[in-house]
Structure 1
Amino acid sequence: MDPISILVGVGAVLLGQAIGYVQGRHHRAPKPIQAICGCGHGMSMHNAETGRCHGMMNGDPLKYDSDKEPTAYKQVPCTCQRYVGPLPIDQVFSPPLLPPSDSR
Structure 2
Amino acid sequence: MDGWYLFMLVGPALYAGSAVRKTVGGALKTRHQRKLALIEARREERLALEAADRSPAPVCGCEHHLAKHDKQGKCHETVQAAVAWDAEKNPVRYEPRRCACQQYVGPQPLAQIYAEDLTDLD
TM-score, normalising length: structure 1: 0.51
Distance 2:33 2:109 in 1: 43
From the CA coordinates, give the structure whose radius of gyration is larger: 2
Structure 2: segments with no counterpart, 5+ residues: 1-26, 113-122
**Offset of residue 90 of structure 1:** 1.1
Task: Please name the residue that 1:51 is paired with.
Answer: 73
Query: What is the letter of the counterpart of residue 95 of structure 2?
Result: K
Structure 1: segments with no counterpart, 5+ residues: 1-11, 92-104
In the TM superposition, what whole-angstrom CA distance separates every residue of 1:48-87 from its partner, at most 9, and x where no partner exists?
x21211112232x3578xx984364112211211211112
> What's the secondary structure of 1:24's corresponding residue?
helix
* 51, 54, 58: which one aligns with 1:35: 58
* Alignment map for 1:11-90 (pairs within 5 Å): 19-26=34-41, 27-28=43-44, 29-30=47-48, 32=51, 33-47=56-70, 49-59=71-81, 61=82, 69-70=90-91, 72-90=93-111
Cα distance change on mapping 1:25 and 1:76 into 2, 3 Å: same
| Aligned-CA RMSD value | 4.2
Distance 2:37 2:108 in 1: 38
Distance 1:75 1:46 in 2: 18
Aligned residue-pair number: 92
The structure with more helix, counted as a fraction of residues: 2
TM-score, normalising length: structure 2: 0.45
Q: Matched residues, percent identical?
A: 28
Cα distance change on mapping 1:55 and 1:70 into 2, 3 Å: same
